[in-house]
Chains A and B, each alone.
Chain A
């Protein structure tokens, strides 16, 4: 299994973290921006309001002429920088001021209307935004007071620019940091996963890498390694037990067999009746030995040891060969045995054990399917591996018995009459498991279908 970086907890966490950072930075900088902007406008508005009031006072004291003089004075001499004034009659015709014409279409509706003035400054044309207020004087004339707000605008623009960049950069930084973290994490977890897979595949001597950083991963690796050491030790003991059991059981069988063989080869030859009974005893010894071998093979397959050095096996080819091997026997029993296979259908594994698996399945069908029946071995390539199916139209196994059928020493039907130990399917299960395969018994309607998915 390959670890998908985008499907890790670390990645999801860092995406969340990035979103959170973006949100926090946006709220902080955004509110600062909005606050600053409103502070600037409020100050402008206050100035305009104050001037408006003083001009209205002037009008009350010395009429339109007084206001006009005052405005001209302010424009010419001591007016504040960026101040805009205008007095117009009721028809919006300019009476005086530093604006050439009435800037609005009639009377503006807003309280703080804004407009633009184009000026010619040395070398360039400039457009200055102006924020203003308009009052109708008691005579029906109009008074406009405004302020060039281009500086405030520039400040606000800069502030906005800085805010947006700030948000963008912090998001980017958070995302990069998150990606980096999740990459690092995924890599270490991936290393652990890969090592574990190797170990499960039979490389029992392998251990998780310890980086020496003394971090939580090292702590984990050390504990896992300790568990593995313990398992290894047990597997070693188990293996030694197998070996000595195999030896201790086979040696007496061997002596028994050798003695009986010696009797058969004796000269002068034995009486035919004695000869025959020794031969039948020999057959029992052989049967006992086969059962023992199968048991030991199951135990060995369960230990994972035979896959220490896996090779590429073409299961399609192997199935075809075995079907060809068994076809004459099936024919002699009045059965059809066929193979439908795709080749190459490559699996990493042990050829002998996979052959044993197929053999057991075929022999199982040969044992239970009555004459005239049909057995089919099919090998298909799947996306991530190979699917092996052995199906027949024999009596099959009832749904409720299927899980029991995979256990050792279980036989169905006229079992007493059948040869065999009842271990065949258990060995199949053990070999499939050794190859990290998935085994399923299905109804072939009628009959039995054994499906095995093997990863490539």
Chain B
């Protein structure tokens, strides 16, 4: 059994919901409390999720990931907070730049998602201020400004990723995941391995079950990108940006065709496919289905 997500909602009272999955079957559990405050909700949620994990003995308890969302558009923020909580994140919300900067400066968040245009203090100014105070929390910038240069400016200011509004929620989730799992040292690895798929980064050769595969330079780059993020959902735009360095969306289903070619090369003749399509999001390279 695994916990899919735990979320808390503050209305008149507090509803803490947990969703667990066991052999394809989803179960919902709900805890209701009457004190209408955010901190008690958080406390209940974390207690509840711990309990769930203990019930599900065998897997270690992982503390929830703490995300700070700085967004002045209250309606958009409400949905994002809800969505992120349902995806298992603990979310704090700051509604303007000043509050955002204050909260971000606490340095206790695992990740910050900030809008770019904010009242009082601009999103990029928040990042600059944080970096100046050596707070290295990864930051994902959301922006309604979609120009090529806006993006570059956002990344130059110290943002770790940039997403133009409107975006698919799945895209946001995938990018948050990618930022959280980013290991600065993984770039020094000389060999990537997922199950029986091995990628020797020095000789640029790939073996599946010991048999060497013939891949083009671009397929190698694509596979390397996927293998470095094994187990994470990688979206089409992430692939376009990471593998082709293109920061706009071509209309055609380009990536699907490239992935299906790679999939043929990797998974053909194997009873255990490694490249999986995640409906509505993208792709993931991992061992189990």
Q: Judging by beta carbons under 8 Å apart, are A254 and B144 in contact?
A: yes
Q: Judging by beta carbons under 8 Å apart, are B251 and A250 in contact?
A: no
Q: Judging by beta carbons under 8 Å apart, are B80 and A258 in contact?
A: yes
- In the bound assembly, the distance between CA atoms of A303 and B271 in angstroms comes to 55
Q: Judging by beta carbons under 8 Å apart, are B28 and A306 in contact?
A: no
Cβ of A290: which chain B residues have Cβ within 8 Å of it? Answer: 249, 251
Cβ of A255: which chain B residues have Cβ within 8 Å of it? Answer: 73, 75-76, 79
A356 → chain B closest CB, angstroms: 5
Out of A246, A261, A293, A305, which one reaches B170, CB within 8 Å? A261
Q: Judging by beta carbons under 8 Å apart, are B244 and A325 in contact?
A: yes
B residues with a Cβ closer than 8 A to A are 19, 26, 28, 73, 75-76, 79-80, 82-83, 86-87, 117, 144-149, 164-170, 218, 244-254, 257-258, 261, 280
Q: Judging by beta carbons under 8 Å apart, are B147 and A296 in contact?
A: yes
Q: Judging by beta carbons under 8 Å apart, are B148 and A289 in contact?
A: no
Please list the 8 inter-chain residue pairs (A to B) with the smallest Cβ-Cβ separation, ordered nearest first. A261-B169, A254-B166, A250-B144, A254-B165, A257-B166, A328-B257, A258-B79, A247-B144
Among A253, A293, A352, chain B packs the most CB atoms within 10 A around the CB of A352
- In the bound assembly, the distance between CA atoms of A66 and B119 in angstroms comes to 131
- In the bound assembly, the distance between CA atoms of A419 and B253 in angstroms comes to 13
Q: Is A264 an interface residue (CB 8 A)?
A: yes
Q: Judging by beta carbons under 8 Å apart, are A332 and B251 in contact?
A: no
A334 → chain B closest CB, angstroms: 13
Q: Is A355 an interface residue (CB 8 A)?
A: yes
Q: Which residue of A is nearest B165, CB measured?
A: A254
Q: Is A297 an interface residue (CB 8 A)?
A: yes
- In the bound assembly, the distance between CA atoms of A247 and B251 in angstroms comes to 23
Out of B28, B167, B254, which one reaches A326, CB within 8 Å? B254
Q: Judging by beta carbons under 8 Å apart, are A253 and B165 in contact?
A: yes
Q: Judging by beta carbons under 8 Å apart, are A353 and B148 in contact?
A: yes
A residues with a Cβ closer than 8 A to B are 243, 246-247, 250-251, 253-259, 261-262, 264-265, 267-268, 279, 282, 285, 289-290, 293, 296-297, 300, 305-306, 308, 321, 324-326, 328-329, 332, 350-353, 355-356, 359, 363, 366, 419-420
- In the bound assembly, the distance between CA atoms of A254 and B165 in angstroms comes to 6
Cβ of A306: which chain B residues have Cβ within 8 Å of it? Answer: 147-149
Q: Judging by beta carbons under 8 Å apart, are A253 and B166 in contact?
A: yes
* Given known contacts A267-B19, A289-B166, A328-B261, A258 and B83 CB-to-CB distance under 8 angstroms: yes
Cβ of B248: which chain A residues have Cβ within 8 Å of it? Answer: 293, 352, 355-356, 359
Q: Judging by beta carbons under 8 Å apart, are A258 and B253 in contact?
A: no
Out of B28, B83, B144, B249, which one reaches A251, CB within 8 Å? B144
Q: Judging by beta carbons under 8 Å apart, are A366 and B83 in contact?
A: no
Q: Judging by beta carbons under 8 Å apart, are B246 and A355 in contact?
A: yes
Q: Judging by beta carbons under 8 Å apart, are B168 and A257 in contact?
A: yes
- In the bound assembly, the distance between CA atoms of A255 and B167 in angstroms comes to 10
9 A-B pairs besides A255-B76, A350-B148, A363-B252 with CB distance below 8 A are A246-B145, A251-B144, A254-B165, A257-B167, A261-B79, A262-B83, A264-B280, A289-B166, A326-B252
Q: Judging by beta carbons under 8 Å apart, are B144 and A420 in contact?
A: no
Q: Judging by beta carbons under 8 Å apart, are A251 and B254 in contact?
A: no
- In the bound assembly, the distance between CA atoms of A308 and B153 in angstroms comes to 12
* Given known contacts A258-B83, A264-B280, A352 and B247 CB-to-CB distance under 8 angstroms: yes
Cβ of B261: which chain A residues have Cβ within 8 Å of it? Answer: 328
* Given known contacts A261-B83, A325-B254, A363-B251, A250 and B146 CB-to-CB distance under 8 angstroms: yes
Q: Judging by beta carbons under 8 Å apart, are A329 and B252 in contact?
A: yes
Cβ of A261: which chain B residues have Cβ within 8 Å of it? Answer: 79, 83, 168-170
**9 pairs across A/B with beta carbons < 8 Å?**
A243-B145, A255-B75, A265-B86, A265-B169, A267-B19, A285-B166, A325-B250, A329-B253, A352-B248
- In the bound assembly, the distance between CA atoms of A350 and B248 in angstroms comes to 13
